[in-house]
């Protein structure tokens, strides 16, 4: 049995899931075609869960799903099409998902885009806020009936330590006033991911649905696809400043997601931020760990919820 009390930076998905039987669980992982999403889906399937992963490119999605079926022997793994940068795609996906499954136990909001040039989603939102937050906001809210039916169930929002870089600026969500900064935009979207977990947990905890936000660590994946040399230099300088800092392999990077999704010791907690397979402290100064208090404020989370409903043009009465 894994020594759960000693989980930390190097703990892997399979160590987190050792001794945990997911054969009755149905899981959904957004962004299952690369990086952490592939390993998250694989590890959940390896421990028995029925897993749907989402893909923008269905050829890629089918290939990953087939690979997981083969490596785990679990045939209950499939791929479905989803582009979070299109509200129409999110609505089509959730309709299709709910037509197939009325129950969901584990939802991992994993997909994300980082540090891209100034771009808009199909509906005109700044791309990082639109994809990382609004797409997941709409998707999760539309899946709540299945999460309630599957209760006890959990939602995990992939955030990032980059949330330290920016709170949500409600006066200039799309950077039309302050001028676009790709890192502030990423940070804002990752703070929104935490606030979403806080608001969702507050709404649903009495009915057995708990929500968590996660910083996975720093892992070499395709997330860096938009980074140029100047970005790399910035990152190196920041790493230098933080000191004692190590990359994680993907199996350790996905571990905090599956920890949040399954750890028995989190049963009576939610609306919290985790890193290195544990609950992170509130930390307003350090750049090396912890969660900023502005990301956990319930009043801000509720405000973001209302603003998000207005932006996607749909309100939710659960
Ligand atoms: N890697 C790190 O060091 C790190 C650190 C902190 C936080 N995170 C967070 O961890 C999560 C996973 O990141 P990763 O490192 O695994 O990144 P990755 O390798 O780039 O994978 C991202 C996944 O998201 C999908 N995706 C991107 N845009 C999408 C859209 N519009 N609609 C639907 N899916 C979309 C990608 O699909 P395609 O294959 O179609 O591109 C891919 O499957 C992200 O939320 C990221 O912010 C990562």
- Residue 129 DSSP class: I
Question: What are the CA-CA distances from residue 270 to residues 94, 157, 163 (Å)?
Answer: 24, 12, 19
* Nearest atom within ligand 1 for CA of residue 224: 20
Strands 278-279 and 272-275 turn out to be antiparallel
pLDDT in tens, 281-314: 999 998 889 999 999 999 999 999 999 999 999 9
* Ligand 1 contact via 157 beta carbon (within 6 Å): no
So what's the pLDDT on residue 9? 97
Domains of the chain: 4-312 (3.40.50.720)
DSSP secondary structure of 226-294: G--HHHHHHHHHHHHHH-S---B-HHHHTHHHHHHHH-GGGTT--SEEEETTEEPPB-SS-SSS-B-GG
pLDDT, tens only, 93-103: 999 999 999 99
Catalytic residues: 186
Largest Cα span, the chain: 54
Nearest-atom number in ligand 1 for the CA of 221 is 19
Q: What is the pTM of this model?
A: 0.98
Query: What is the atom index within ligand 1 of the atom nearest the CA of 36?
Result: 16
By 3-state DSSP, what share of the chain in percent is helix, strand and coil, each rounded to 5?
Answer: 50, 15, 35
Q: Does the C-beta of 221 come closer than 6 Å to ligand 1? A: yes
Best mutation site among 91, 111, 212, 219 for ligand 1 pocket (most ligand atoms within 8 Å of CB): 111
CA distance 9 to 32: 23
Q: Pick the more confident residue, 239 or 227.
A: 227
Neighbour count for residue 91 (Cβ, 10 Å): 15
């Amino acid at each position: 049995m894994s020594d759960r009390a000693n989980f930390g930076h190097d703990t892997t998905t399979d160590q987190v899931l050792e001794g945990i039987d997911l054969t009755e669980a149905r899981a959904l992982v957004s962004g299952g075609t690369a990086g952490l999403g592939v390993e998250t889906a694989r590890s959940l399937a390896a421990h028995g869960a029925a897993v749907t992963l989402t893909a923008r490119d269905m050829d890629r999605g089918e290939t990953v799903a087939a690979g997981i079926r083969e490596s785990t022997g679990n045939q209950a793994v499939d791929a479905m099409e989803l582009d979070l940068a299109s509200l129409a795609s999110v609505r089509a996906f959730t309709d299709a998902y709910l037509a197939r499954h009325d129950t969901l136990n584990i939802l991992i909001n994993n997909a994300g885009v980082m540090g891209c040039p100034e771009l808009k989603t199909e509906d005109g939102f700044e791309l990082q806020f639109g994809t990382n937050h609004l797409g997941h906001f709409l998707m999760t809210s539309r899946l709540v009936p299945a999460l309630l039916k599957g209760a006890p169930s959990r939602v995990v929002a992939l955030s990032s330590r980059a949330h330290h870089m920016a709170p949500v600026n409600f006066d200039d969500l799309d950077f039309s006033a302050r001028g676009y900064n790709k890192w502030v935009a990423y940070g804002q979207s990752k703070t929104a991911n935490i606030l979403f977990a806080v608001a969702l947990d507050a709404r649903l905890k009495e009915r057995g649905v708990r929500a968590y936000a996660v910083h996975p660590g720093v892992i070499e994946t395709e997330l860096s696809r938009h980074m140029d040399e100047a970005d790399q230099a910035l990152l190196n300088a920041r790493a230098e400043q933080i000191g004692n800092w190590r990359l994680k392999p993907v199996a350790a990077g996905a571990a905090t997601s599956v920890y949040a999704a399954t750890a028995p010791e989190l049963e009576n907690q939610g609306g919290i931020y985790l890193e290195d397979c544990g609950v992170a402290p509130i930390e307003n100064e350090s750049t090396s760990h912890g969660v900023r208090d502005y990301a956990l404020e319930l009043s801000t989370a509720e405000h973001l919820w209302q603003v998000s409903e207005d932006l996607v043009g749909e309100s939710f009465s659960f």
